[in-house]
Chains A and B, each alone.
Chain A
């Protein structure tokens, strides 16, 4: 078990963003989390990377427990995670290369190791020629691929993608989803939040549906067929 939510609730001013969530995620899974806007998907992600903590219950991620983790361990936890956002969150004043290199640099890798890894990753996502460009010079799809490269550069155990295609055209979205599937095939656990679970081919993923902070019965609900 890589991730577990044990009766987790997160309240904002008495309003439950998440309530009584029970969930386990195994290593290597591809999990698709869907649900309407405001359902609590982003909150659930934030609890995983411990940018936020449950009001009650315990979240456990790769051995770190939300009720016991020390401040100094947050960076260690986050180095095991790669995170991708709907709005890319690239640093506008840095080149593609420096954006992708960031997680390695803040982990203290040598410049030589950083260069080697970043070059090979940029080649994989076919953006080598863009390494000296700035984010605003790229298309949305390219920016999201750079963001995914940044998330993957330090070989994370889990990739969290929070509506990564929300700002992209369908064609480009397809490319991004392909990339996520490829990442999952190499063994990385992927959790994808999306409005449109039909983006993922049937049979490749486990589906969860969140509504108003409640997880629809994750065993019996077959979101893919119902949609």
Chain B
């Protein structure tokens, strides 16, 4: 069995060596088209990181009437903390708000003095939401509910850009999937075609092999191997090229390269489309032995 596997591997190499030139051209083609996808992934990964940071911050800020006592405010906060979609609730007293204001904007601190001792920043309740509640409809729904509660003066959340944000994140996810799908299909068609050519070219060899008793998998292995290698090497090559471009551009456009998980996904996509292409190519190609 070991020897048979070795021989099979050797046959695969023969298969590739016979047409090294056209194999390299195919590899380059696959790498380049994958590169377009990789660049798109890098862009959407970076935009996605920024957007999800923004989304992380999506919360609701509840400003309270001045006559609300601290006890009433804490009771209100407790009430809100058990509502659906709420991750945590934090009561910010008027004094605390002022302290934060002074720390954040020291040069404007004088403003508070100017406004006189009877002016106070309103106390507030900061609501942070569970991730699945950060989509726009859910946030505004919740905001509407709490704004009707006793002692609430005003409700603030990212009303302006929230709908757009959610939609953008959604759309980018869909675009990535669509682009991946298009790429997978076109790669498997390219591989199917080269495998089909390889099968036709090797038809006499394949035929003799099966006549002298080669098992079916042994006959198919080199072609499957060719597709897999094309897919994996092509996607790896594209990642390499994209990586080079990314590091060249990183000083002028600060960004991150793809995380390990995404790199693995790109390689898997390459492998899967390569294998699928081989299978398609073989299905239409491998001859039945005759005469």
A interface residues with partner B (beta carbon < 8 Å):
42, 46, 49, 51-52, 71-72, 74-79, 81, 83, 85, 89, 91, 93, 102-103, 105-111, 150, 154, 162
Contacts and interface: CB of A to CB of B under 8 A. Distances in A.
A52 B291 CA distance: 9
Given A51-B288, A111-B3, A103 B205 contact: no
B211 interface: yes
B71 interface: no
A72 B204 contact: no
Contacts of B291: 42, 46, 51, 85, 162
A149 to B, nearest CB: 12
Which of A77, A103, A110 counts the most chain B CB atoms within 10 A? A103
A103 B3 CA distance: 13
A106 B209 contact: yes
A51 B290 contact: yes
A138 to B, nearest CB: 17
B148 interface: no
A46 B205 CA distance: 18
A110 B210 CA distance: 19
Contact of A106 (B1, B213, B288): B213
B214 interface: yes
A168 B23 CA distance: 40
A108 B1 CA distance: 6
A71 B219 CA distance: 13
A78 B208 CA distance: 11
Contacts of A81: 213
Contacts of B209: 102, 106
A114 B1 CA distance: 14
A93 B204 CA distance: 11
Contacts of A106: 4, 7, 209, 212-215, 218
A150 B214 CA distance: 14
A75 B216 contact: yes
Contacts of A79: 212-213
B164 interface: no
B1 A75 contact: no
Which of A52, A85, A108 counts the most chain B CB atoms within 10 A? A108
Contact of B212 (A52, A76, A102, A111): A102
7 contacts: A72-B215, A74-B216, A75-B210, A75-B214, A79-B213, A91-B208, A150-B212
A78 B205 contact: no
B contacts with A: majority SS:
helix
B289 interface: yes
A51 B289 contact: yes
Nearest to A43: B291
Nearest to B6: A111
Contacts of A150: 212
Given A72-B216, A89-B204, A106-B218, A78 B1 contact: no
Contacts of B2: 108
Which of B18, B211, B212, B216 counts the most chain A CB atoms within 10 A? B212
Contacts of B204: 89, 91
Nearest to A89: B208
B4 to A, nearest CB: 3
A110 B205 CA distance: 21
Nearest to A73: B215
Nearest to B289: A51
Nearest to A105: B7
Interface in B1-59: 1-4, 7, 18
Interface string B189-218: 000000000000000110111111111101
Contacts of A154: 212-213
B211 A51 contact: yes
Contact of B7 (A52, A77, A93, A108): A108
Contacts of A105: 3, 7
Contacts of B213: 75-79, 81, 103, 106-107, 154
Given A51-B211, A78-B210, A102-B209, A71 B4 contact: no
Given A103-B213, A109-B3, 14 more contacts: A42-B291, A46-B291, A51-B211, A75-B210, A75-B214, A76-B213, A78-B210, A79-B212, A91-B208, A102-B208, A103-B212, A105-B3, A106-B4, A154-B213
A121 B214 CA distance: 21
Contacts of B218: 106
A107 to B, nearest CB: 6
Contact of A78 (B3, B7, B211, B290): B211
A62 B5 CA distance: 27
Contacts of A85: 291
Contacts of A46: 290-291
Contacts of B4: 106-108
A78 B216 contact: no
